[in-house]
Structure 1
Amino acid sequence: MPGSAWWVWAMAAVLFALYIALSVRIHERILSNSYDLGIFEQVVRSYADGHLPVSELKAPGFPVLGDHFSPVLALVAPAYRLWRTPVTLLVAQAALIAGSMVPLVRWARRLLGDGAAAVVGACYGLSWGVASAIGFDFHEVAFAAPLLALSLAALGDGRPRAAVCWALPLLLVKEDLGLTVAVIGLLVARRGARRLGLGTAAAGVAGSLLTILVVLPAFNPGGDFAYWSYLGGAAGGTGSGSGDASGGTVLAGLLYKGTIGLVTPEAKATTVVLLLAPTLFLALRSSLLWAAVPTLVWRFASTDPVHWGTAYHYSLVLMPIVFAAFVEALAARRAREGSVRRYLLGAAGVCLLLLPQYPFWQLVQPATWRTDPRLAVARRLMDRIPDGATVQASTLLVPQLTNRTTVGLFGWEPSRPDSQWILVDTWTPAYKRWPLTVEIERNRLNWQRAHGYHDVADEDGYVLLERTG
């Protein structure tokens, strides 16, 4: 379509600002988490300091390349060297996700016109999957969003080589995304570029198998992929590689479990409905939607109920896929019916109905912009901990310390038993207190006092202990 597309970039800039406002404000209110913002900052800090990534939060000196294969995070390191704060990660994530809207909207603009493209961009940028990711810390899958959007827009636009070139870097984002690359390869083959597509599919499968069966076990102290227990039916998997299912057993049963479990329990069916509802289920009309299957299969095959629902970051990689399928389906429907206005109005309506249920709604809540006076106390006590110290802290305090200390999670067994400092928020609500209950936390603090720690401060619920000697 001729004419300027300046408004596409303006829309991306508005979304970028919105994402930063939400994620940074959550962090400023000391509501970001050790798992996962704290872990990812420790990873990026490792790269910035010139060595392979380790995370004190997983265990002292734990090699993160033995947990998940995400070397793409090294790309954040140069910015982090200049701005050593977790906000650097949040800004990078906001830029990646806001930028992922651009190829989808530009493609929709060519097929459907400015008005339709603007609706698609707004519905994508404000979608619940994006909101859930922005509202919960930082995650490596932020890199997958623009890569998927670029790849699927190119594929839908009849540019198979570009589609493959944008898909292959997904192998460096996370180990499971090789299977998504494989499906994209099959779609490329189905649409005419047979040799290119089949080669891409083989590369995707090989990439996932190599990382899961070779690379991750080589780095993992336990010598295995850390998440077999989630996928093999071992209830209560710990992610430590201690599950009782072998890799071969899990791979053989994964597809079966994921597809059988598509609608049970109810949370899985709800997730599928909410994925498709913003497109009025038109996404089902496009074969691009097949790219969502690998992610849905591993999530629904998991024994962890957290993976089944719509919270956290797990649906972020699905949003570019669903909306790419929506664009292609709209174009086909327009060719038959001449107008797709009613579908766009319906999609916008669903988006608006879902907004109050997800984190973007926090931006219009007065509580988001009020500052709890206790936070000044927390920051004053954190300032008493010197740079470079070893620390154990409550989960919400950890990301406030990861940029300048070696910090682990208080009450998490792999944490250093002899950290120089302990900082605990004893007034944290129970649902944000992970991994401890109030009683266990109290008992642990008393035990620490009896075994070499003394009180430095106890103010407004914040307890600061220092190791004696």
Structure 2
Amino acid sequence: MSTQTQAPTTGPATADTSRDRRVPVLSSRTRAVLFSLLCFTLCFAIGLQGWTSVQLGGFDLGIFDQGMRGYAHFQLPVSIVKSYHHEFPPGFSLLGDHFSPVLALAAPVYWIWNDPRALLLAQALLFAAGVPVVRRITAHAFAAAPAAVRLRAADLASLVFALGWPLTASARGGFHEGAFAVPLTLLMLERGLARRYGTAAVAALLLCCTKEDLGLLVGAYGLVLLLRARRTADRAGHRTGLVFLLLGPTLSMAAVSWLIPAMGGQPGYYWNYQELGPNMGGAATHVLTHPWLLLTGAFNAPLKPLLVLWLFGTLFLLPLRSLTTLCAVPLLAERLLSTNPNHWSIARHYDAFLWPVLLTASIEVLGRLYRQEGSRRLAQRLGLATVAFTVAAAVPLGLFQLVVPTWWQAGTSGAALVQATRLIPTGATVEADNQAVPRLTSRTKVVLVDRTPRGMDYVLIRANHRSFPFATDTEQAARIQLLLTHGYQQIWTKDGVVLLHRVGDEPIPGEHVPGPDSQPVQDVVPSDVGHNLFRG
């Protein structure tokens, strides 16, 4: 992402050497620290804003908070918010939901700060750790450029990464596995460019332990290494690429087929590709005999082509000119072919997994353009345009809200939820509104209040504001009446928020706690989801 405007008169290796002698005001290391601080500050601030405005819920911050507490005590990452709501049997841990053992590396943060916000802090630190790696990627791409050009290109690339809308959107959603996937993907790609394949392999292995489908990204990168090794006669790159190509998908299959079920999960629980087939094997057979299903399935909803256009358009289609973009194909295909409309929006955390790949590909293309005589001005313009467009895209997806005071405040309903949580004694069992769950995970046994009564000591619910997973606030009001007539009494209410306490032991109609024979269920996606690219 160069700002160089004057084309050199000699070859790239000796071009414009006078500019090399210029001493920068700040060293490259200092700039890396400053851009890392910028990235950390913005992402952590966005996360804290979601906390103070009571926008972060049990799904997913409360789930990860309960699981991380298990890791912090050298136990399995058990989350009863997840297991109760989705009816997983006893013995289920979050490793049976997504195979993400690498999350245990964030557990020490809880030894310092025993609070759900520790996850927001850890995620911001992990995102910020990507800045120095982005700068090294830029140094590889602009290796033949003068030092001043390399420095400016690294600064612009750092700015695009730090202010990238995928990171701001992910930070708004709380904490997810993408916190580790971002720096690890960048490290794998950078070490590959440096031909340091040992470290690249370590990063690839950690990626496979970050989420079960990231082995597909590793496999795709193996294909990239193989294709590049053919052109450069890089034998080590060829061997590494072959190992990645074979081992990455194999580890993904092993996680889905064996490791997740061993942790109490269900094979195929997240199979959202019914249009292709009932399972992976059936889909493969169906696609082989009807290959056009891939095309129709990828664009059979209006948001799907808009998602592709937004992902690549905000980077001026630059990634399409780099082999590295092949790494994004498996993850993007997962979303486009999915029948779950939650996967089609950019307002969630899914794009954080793609961001390192697409940004690296863009930097590689700009570096290649700079090396070509007559294309340096184009590289400059495209680099500056990418910065401007990416920052502009991030404004409505997290940056603008930071400077609006009202976005830092909870609404009347959210404020009442927080007030009600303080009335619940430590150690109690609780069914709580989704937005209240993270306020209770550290000191109570809390589950999500959903369509199934659980018979807990306290129930914290809203009567006039629809909350996940209820379809309407009428359902919530009906739940309150049901509990009041079967052993509960109202002990507090404000602004539609109701706190109930169980005083009797009579059975509640429909009461159920997951047992050994429980069959996991998925949520029914509301009909209003999947119609807006910018809404979660």
Output the TM-score relative to the length of structure 2. 0.80
Match of 1:369 among 384, 408, 416: 408
For the Cα contact (< 8 Å) 2:38–2:162, is it kept in 1?
Answer: no
Residue aligned with 1:424, SS: strand
- Is it true that 1:5 corresponds to 2:48 in the alignment? no
For the Cα contact (< 8 Å) 1:423–1:464, is it kept in 2?
Answer: yes
Residue aligned with 1:273, SS: helix
Change (3 A) 1:456 1:83: same
Specify every segment of 5 or more residues in structure 2 that has no aligned partner in the other structure, as ranges: 1-19, 85-89, 143-148, 230-236, 505-536
Specify the alignment match of 1:265 in structure 2: 301
For the Cα contact (< 8 Å) 2:67–2:77, is it kept in 1?
Answer: yes
For the Cα contact (< 8 Å) 1:259–1:297, is it kept in 2?
Answer: no
- 1: CA distance between counterparts of 2:72 and 2:47? 22
Residue aligned with 1:456, SS: strand
Match of 1:275 among 311, 318, 324: 311
Residue 254 of structure 1: CA displacement?
A: 7.4
The 5 Å alignment of 1:160-239 reads 160-192=197-229, 193-220=237-264, 223-228=266-271, 230-233=272-275
Residue 374 of structure 1: CA displacement?
A: 5.9
- Is it true that 1:434 corresponds to 2:473 in the alignment? no
Per-residue CA deviation, residues 423-463 of structure 1 (Å, 9 max, x unaligned), is 113343x4x54334111000011101111111111122221
Residue 137 of structure 1: CA displacement?
A: 1.2
Residue 258 of structure 1: CA displacement?
A: 5.0
- 1: CA distance between counterparts of 2:197 and 2:314? 27
Per-residue CA deviation, residues 404-440 of structure 1 (Å, 9 max, x unaligned), is 2111111243xx6111111113343x4x543341110
Change (3 A) 1:233 1:33: farther
The one-letter code of the counterpart of 1:75 is: L
The one-letter code of the counterpart of 1:402 is: T
Specify the alignment match of 2:497 in structure 1: 462
- 2: CA distance between counterparts of 1:135 and 1:371? 15
- 1: CA distance between counterparts of 2:284 and 2:257? 11
- Is it true that 1:91 corresponds to 2:128 in the alignment? no
Residue aligned with 2:499, SS: strand
Change (3 A) 1:210 1:126: same
- Is it true that 1:423 corresponds to 2:456 in the alignment? no
Specify the alignment match of 1:241 in structure 2: none
Residue aligned with 1:454, SS: strand
Change (3 A) 1:198 1:134: same
For the Cα contact (< 8 Å) 2:133–2:186, is it kept in 1?
Answer: yes
Match of 1:389 among 428, 452, 456: 428
The one-letter code of the counterpart of 1:248 is: G
Residue aligned with 2:28, SS: coil
Structure number having the greater helix percentage: 1
Residue 215 of structure 1: CA displacement?
A: 1.5
Residue 376 of structure 1: CA displacement?
A: 5.3
Specify the alignment match of 2:100 in structure 1: 70
Per-residue CA deviation, residues 143-164 of structure 1 (Å, 9 max, x unaligned), is 0000111111222334333333
The one-letter code of the counterpart of 2:344 is: W
Specify the alignment match of 1:16 in structure 2: 40
- 2: CA distance between counterparts of 1:4 and 1:123? 17
- Is it true that 1:301 corresponds to 2:356 in the alignment? no
- 1: CA distance between counterparts of 2:294 and 2:344? 11
Supply the RMSD in Å over aligned alpha carbons: 2.3
Match of 1:331 among 358, 367, 371: 367
For the Cα contact (< 8 Å) 2:59–2:434, is it kept in 1?
Answer: yes
Match of 2:152 among 115, 119, 122: 115
Specify every segment of 5 or more residues in structure 1 that has no aligned partner in the other structure, as ranges: 235-243
Residue 9 of structure 1: CA displacement?
A: 1.6
- 2: CA distance between counterparts of 1:254 and 1:352? 39
- 1: CA distance between counterparts of 2:410 and 2:246? 53
- For structure 1, which segment, 115-124 or 432-441, has the greater mean C-alpha deviation from structure 2 after superposition? 432-441
- For structure 1, which segment, 417-426 or 310-319, has the greater mean C-alpha deviation from structure 2 after superposition? 417-426
Aligned residues: 454
Residue 329 of structure 1: CA displacement?
A: 0.4
The share of aligned pairs that are identical, in percent, is 32
- 2: CA distance between counterparts of 1:261 and 1:157? 38
The one-letter code of the counterpart of 2:365 is: A
Match of 2:49 among 25, 44, 50: 25
- Is it true that 1:39 corresponds to 2:63 in the alignment? yes
Residue aligned with 2:241, SS: helix
- 2: CA distance between counterparts of 1:30 and 1:187? 43
Specify the alignment match of 2:282 in structure 1: 249
Change (3 A) 1:205 1:277: same
Residue 377 of structure 1: CA displacement?
A: 4.2
Match of 1:103 among 133, 154, 179: 133
For the Cα contact (< 8 Å) 1:167–1:184, is it kept in 2?
Answer: no
Match of 1:407 among 415, 438, 446: 446
- 1: CA distance between counterparts of 2:162 and 2:284? 34
- For structure 1, which segment, 71-80 or 250-259, has the greater mean C-alpha deviation from structure 2 after superposition? 250-259
- 2: CA distance between counterparts of 1:168 and 1:253? 31
- 2: CA distance between counterparts of 1:291 and 1:183? 5
- 2: CA distance between counterparts of 1:433 and 1:165? 39
Does 1 or 2 have the higher relative contact order (CA < 8 Å, sep 6+)? 2
